[in-house]
Amino acid sequence: MDNVSSTSNSIPACPTIVPGIPIQVDARPVTAEPPTSINKPLRVLQWNIERGYQLDAVLKVLAQVDPDIAILQELDIHCVRSGETDQFNIIARTLGWNGGFVAEFEELHSPLRDSLTQGGGFHGNAIFSKFDMDLRAIVHQYQPVNWEKEGITFREPRRGGRVTLAATIRPPGQPPVLAYSAHLEVFCGLSHRVWQLAEILDDAYQQLPLFPHQLLFGDLNTMAHSWARLVPKYCRDQFRWRSFGRNEATWLTKYVLEFYRTEVDMVISQDKTVITQEEPKGTLPGKLVINRRLAVYGSKVFPERILQMALNPGFTDPWDTKRDITLTNFYGLYKGKLDWTLTMGFRCLSKLMGNHDYKASDHKYLVLELDYVEK
């Protein structure tokens, strides 16, 4: 599919877009015989495509990798900065995929924007698959930036807020997969992203009895380290200096992702890193489990509700938080692992990283080959 291009004029219009409301386009060929069973590892891809500035290059990569599930962030629909393309529709129909999209923002056309940021459309996250799927959205309760008021400050006037797309994907003959496409806030601080991630981790835990096989992929914007500390808009909390000596990905792993909810639920009393609180008399017997690693920073930084949610229900990540760099900036002086492929209920058979020259996007893409681990 080397001749894949976004220039086709035959792409139908996308459904009506409202920020926070998922839309779906199933562009799989109707003549194709659906497989009765998938007897091979799942190939899954994670990629922030940088507003689709280089959409033809993105399409070429997606066609070459040929994933069963592609989880993408930063898709534009009808924004001037990216040629007013409907990137969600183009990707789905060009590659013959079933696609889901949720807009995070209506990007307002404004004289404050330059040609590389000009709006006029929508911007959000997507999940594509070769299989049947159902969609829902997690509209984050915690929004570190009030974009309707602060958008002018960042010269990006917009309406909306951060939204994580969730899809229940059903590979034939295999258990369903619950997949998340997340893009956490960039103009905030490390602690604010923990709040947003905690909401997704809690949702994953609530869904675990029905869906033990899960993918939490996305651009988590774990960038509050190195030269970014010198730019206040990227480090707007006390961790601008308090986390000095660690990159944000390493900090997040230590304080959240290495703190497994499944383990503490089974052996609460033996884990010294967990605070437990007896429930009031008259309620069912049980314990309230919170993340003590975060609790040491105080309730003003991490309120109790966040401490209850910021527990890993079983996700693992196959990449190294220091060596596996997915974004380079400031002329190579800044590097970080911003992109994540957290899996649960799977065994990672192989992994690869691409777009090392950053020509197709300012992020590298990540690909995993996964095999089911039966519960």
pLDDT in tens, 145-154: 999 999 999 9
Measured distance CA(55)–CA(161) in Å, rounded: 24
Q: What are phi and psi of 39, to 5 degrees?
A: -105, 45
Higher pLDDT, 330 or 270: 330
Residue 167 in domain: yes
Residue 15 lies in a domain: no
CA gap 112, 118 in Å, rounded: 8
Task: Report percent pLDDT > 90 for the chain.
Answer: 76
Query: Which amino acid type is present at position 311?
Result: L
* Cβ-based neighbour number of residue 328 at 10 Å: 16
Element (H, E) at 127: strand 121-129
How far, in Å, CA of 211 to CA of 189, rounded? Answer: 31
Is 12 within the bounds of a domain?
Answer: no
Does residue 362 share a domain with residue 229? yes
Q: Answer whether residue 266 is part of any domain.
A: yes
Q: Are residues 141 and 283 in the same domain?
A: no
Q: Are both 236 and 304 inside the same structural domain?
A: no
Same domain, 201 and 332: yes
Only one residue has tokens 């001749």, namely: 3
Alpha carbons 2 and 59: distance in angstroms, whole number: 9
Residue 1 lies in a domain: no
- Predicted pLDDT at 269: 35
Band of residue 243 on the pLDDT scale cut at 50, 70, 90: confident
Tokens 């930036």 correspond to: 145
Cα(355)–Cα(45) distance, rounded to whole angstroms?
13
Which helix H or strand E contains 194, and what residues bound it? helix 190-207
pTM of the shown model: 0.91
pLDDT tens per residue across span 174-210: 999 999 999 999 999 999 999 999 999 999 999 999 9
CA distance 337 to 186: 14
Report CA-CA distances (Å) from 216 to 45, 53, 221, 363.
11, 25, 14, 17
Say if residue 84 is in the same domain as residue 199. yes
- The count of structural domains within the chain is 2
Q: What angle do CA 160, 146, 335 make, to 5 degrees?
A: 90
- Parent domain of 73: 23-251+315-372
Say whether both 46 and 148 belong to one domain. Answer: yes
Q: What is the CATH number of the domain that holds 90?
A: 3.60.10.10
**Where among 271, 296, 311 does a domain terminate?**
311
The verdict on 299 and 175 lying in the same domain is: no
97 neighbors 70 (Cβ within 8 angstroms): yes
Residue 10 φ then ψ, to 5°: -95, 10
Per-residue model confidence (pLDDT) at position 245 = 79
Tell me: do 189 and 268 sit in the same domain: no
- Together in a domain, 109 and 35: yes
Examine residue 10 and state whether it is found in any structural domain, yes or no: no
Q: What H or E segment, with its residue span, contains residue 200?
A: helix 190-207
Query: What is the C-alpha separation between 18 and 102, in angstroms, rounded?
Result: 8
The alpha-carbon radius of gyration of the chain (Å, integer) is: 21
Q: Which of 288, 311, 334 is the last residue of a domain?
A: 311
CB atoms near residue 72 (< 10 Å): 31
Same domain, 77 and 205: yes
Domain boundary among 293, 311, 329: 311
* Residue 120 falls inside a structural domain: yes
Q: Are residues 118 and 201 in the same domain?
A: yes
**Residue 28 within any structural domain of the chain:** yes
Q: Are residues 337 and 305 in the same domain?
A: no
